[in-house]
Structure 1
Amino acid sequence: MITTLETTATPLPEELAFLGERLMAFNDGDVGASERKALAVFVRDEAGAIVAGISGYTAWGWLYVQWLWVDERLRGRHMAGTMLDAAEKEAMARGCQNAWIDTFNPNAARVYRRQGYQPFGTLADFPVGRSRVFLQEKLSAG
């Protein structure tokens, strides 16, 4: 078998999809079906434009919040907590028992801690001068 090694900053979407599908198939065979399913929560203004949102997924009984953004005009109004509550409720409906999120923004870390998330790891200088904090929460219906 002849092989070549390619490094690129512009992979094709179908190449990334192929890679993701192959890895998910391997992991499902190794530890069982993940039942991975996208999860998003959006806040829209009166014109329907997104002014805050969460994007992530559920898999193996966990909610992972990959992205959480709030327009600066809505910050300080508990919008992140409201969206996390909605995402966690949906995750529990899907059978999830835990959630995790990460950030390198100290203000966001404080918000997540107020929401009940607890740190379980950090990467120093990610990015330089900050630490990326990983937080988790046990989900409960109460």
Structure 2
Amino acid sequence: MKSPIIDITETPLAADLEQIASALTAFNDSAVGPSSRRPLAAMIRAENQLVAGLSGYTGWGWLYIQWLWVAEAQRGQGLARQLLAAAEAEAIARGCHGAHIDTFSPQALHVYQRAGYTVFGALPEFPHGHTRSFLSKSLP
């Protein structure tokens, strides 16, 4: 048998990514139980235009917020906080006990902290000149 070869690529095959995901999911399921992962998204529209949105998922009793965006012209009006509250309410309805999010934006960090999230870790210089903060919040 030949030695394994490491293949580095910017264009992985969809089948390879699916195999990695399936294998890791099976391992995690056997180690800690199924995640019951479900997508979650919340959007705010004005005049049929998307002006703010949140995307993430729930799994293992947690809400993970992957993306939260508010159009520049709509910032400062509390839309991010509304999206967080809506996502948290849905996560609670799904049986979640916590939420987590990360950011390297000082403005977003402030918004999340005002919404009750606390920093539990930080990664300096990610990206260069910034600190990526990891935040969590207990849900009732």
CA offsets 1:110-134 (integer angstroms, 9 cap, x no match) = 0000000000000010011110000
Residue 108 of structure 2 aligns to a residue whose secondary structure is helix
Percent of aligned pairs with the same amino acid: 52
DSSP-derived class of the 1:11 partner: coil
- Map 1:66-81 onto structure 2 (within 5 A): 66-81=66-81
| Residues 1:132 and 2:139 are matched in the alignment | no
1:15 offset after TM fit, Å? 2.5
Deviation at 1:58, TM superposition (A): 0.5
Q: Where in structure 2 are the equivalents of 1:53-68 lying within 5 Å?
A: 53-68=53-68
Change (3 A) 1:29 1:42: same
Runs of 4+ with >4 A deviation = none
- The Cα RMSD (Å) is 1.2
Q: Which residue of 2 aligns with 1:106?
A: 106
TM-score for both structures, normalised by structure 1: 0.92
SS at match of 1:35: coil
List alignment gaps of at least 5 residues for structure 2.
none
Provide, for residues 21-59 of structure 1, a one-character-per-residue CA deviation record: whole Å limited to 9, x for no partner: 221111111111110111111112212x32211111111
> 2:88 — aligned with what?
88
Shift in Å at residue 87 of structure 1? 0.3
